[in-house]
Structure 1
Amino acid sequence: MNIQELLVTGTRLLKEKEIPTPRLDSEVLLANRLSKDRVYFLSHGDERVLPEVERSFLQDIQRRSRLEPVAYITGKKEFMGLELEVDPHVLIPRPDTEILVEAAMDMLKEKTGFVHVLDIGTGSGAIAISLTRYLPQVKVTAVDIDPHALKTAKKNADKMGVADRIQFVWSDCFQNVEGIFDAIVSNPPYIDREEMKGLDANVVEFEPVKALYGGEDGLDFYREIARQAPGHLKKGGSSSLRSGVPRPRRSEGSWKKSVLDP
């Protein structure tokens, strides 16, 4: 088959399984197999595809039809303009987390000299790598409880050329963290018990549950960070945490109670 025929076939197969974005997913998966961008298809629809590439693409379509996220199939996800490796040991970086990173960057830009940041639950390293890539004065200690996630994060840091400014530490939250920091950033697990029941299958069946589930009310990790953060922040230090919706008001209350009223 040629490129256009493969895209039509992939789109049809995904539509039959009621995948929400069948054409887009087909284009992304085929572009990955051909090592091209999607724009290439506009002028090369008649180009014949090698049989082995065709087979691999159709296997990818089968995986997607079983709801496996595209990012896990391709093994990569763009975040803050950076292409990061991802696998089932790490949460797929979300656009919402880019907002967290941008907010943290705005605060860190105001600081002078080297800035030391603690990234709790680094996963793929998305936050730590973005901060060090775009802010040359930043150094990060990135922690995670999953050694496989740390391995992936290290690979991404090497790929992006920032490994010399990130220290990766195996740690359950603050357990193995030493020193004090100018800022703490985190995208902690925040899904509560009821919300877990309603998550889409492509999330709950493929992404790491421990990176999603935040306890009965979704605030377990916020409480832990709020409890221990004061002992790891310099005077005037800041914290930036992602919160789910509609949780910001509840997590803010938890933070104030733990930090301001010990």
Structure 2
Amino acid sequence: MYRPTVSDEYAQRIRQWHENAYAQARAEAGDGQTFDYLGLTLVVPPDVHPINAMSHLLGEAVLAEVRAGDRVLDMGTGCGVNAILAASKSTDVLAVDVNPHAVATARENAERNGVADRVEVRESDVFSAVDGDFDLVVFDPPFRWFAPRDLLERGSTDEDYRALTTFFRQVRDHLRPGARMLIFFGTSGDLGYLERLAAEAGFHSRILANRRLKKDSWQVDYYTFHLSLP
């Protein structure tokens, strides 16, 4: 069961931040968006989580981390961006998402960027449709723990961190010896809870990238973490 590591006051600030961010995302979604991002062309429909100004912190880490022989899992793939980046080096990438529209979008974007033969996309609730084990797992999870109102919001909210908790409790069953993980998160979510889950699962964590954004008189820090087992 999720127990916040932040104060009630801080949780309220996160909720206000989320409401503002969601309203902006909904307005910008329109009939869909096209992004030129790290050499890719990505088409994102209005009910799939878009690329944002901090996405490159994870994308650049994916490009730096993937090895030619890696089997890669992109958990919560969204528009398929990190799976497609991974496929620039790996020939064996599995991308999964609970949102069926994201699954279709990721397949289309993999085809658009010439890596459809390297990326398999499945609809999966965390590990429900994932088999086998992996050398690298990439996860850009929803930051907030609120109940989503629609599919777009589901990309940024995970009610009571059910999916995040399930991920850390099951991921070790899907890791090969020496496996690594890349996880993106920020202080507009309960970062302390993620760190607690990672520690309880026995992972060593280090920061690969960090940026600070100030908005609405509040600063948010974004991090790309590299996780591994001792």
C-alpha contact (below 8 Å) 1:117/1:184 kept by paired residues:
yes
Other-structure match for 1:252: 195
Aligned counterparts of 1:205 and 1:230: Cα–Cα separation in 2: 31
Aligned counterparts of 2:72 and 2:49: Cα–Cα separation in 1: 21
Task: Give the alignment partner of residue 76 of structure 1, picking from 29, 34, 38.
Answer: 34
Determine what percentage of the aligned residue pairs are the same residue.
29
Q: Where in structure 2 are there 5+ consecutive unaligned residues?
A: 1-23, 204-230
Other-structure match for 2:124: 171
C-alpha contact (below 8 Å) 2:33/2:46 kept by paired residues:
no
Q: Does 1:158 align with 2:111?
A: yes
Q: Does 1:127 align with 2:82?
A: yes
More strand by share: 2
C-alpha contact (below 8 Å) 2:126/2:167 kept by paired residues:
yes
Aligned counterparts of 2:121 and 2:104: Cα–Cα separation in 1: 9
Task: Give the alignment partner of residue 182 of structure 1, picking from 118, 124, 135.
Answer: 135
The structure having more radius of gyration, on CA atoms, is 1
Deviation, structure 1 residue 102: 1.7
Aligned counterparts of 1:145 and 1:74: Cα–Cα separation in 2: 19
More helix by share: 1
- The TM-score, its normalising length taken from structure 1, stands at 0.61
C-alpha contact (below 8 Å) 2:138/2:182 kept by paired residues:
yes
Other-structure match for 2:71: 116
Task: Give the alignment partner of residue 223 of structure 1, picking from 141, 154, 165.
Answer: 165
Change (3 A) 1:249 1:107: farther
Deviation, structure 1 residue 221: 2.7
Deviation, structure 1 residue 79: 2.4
Equivalenced residues, count: 178
Aligned counterparts of 1:165 and 1:248: Cα–Cα separation in 2: 33
Q: CA RMSD in A?
A: 2.4
Other-structure match for 1:200: none
C-alpha contact (below 8 Å) 1:68/1:206 kept by paired residues:
no
- The TM-score, its normalising length taken from structure 2, stands at 0.69
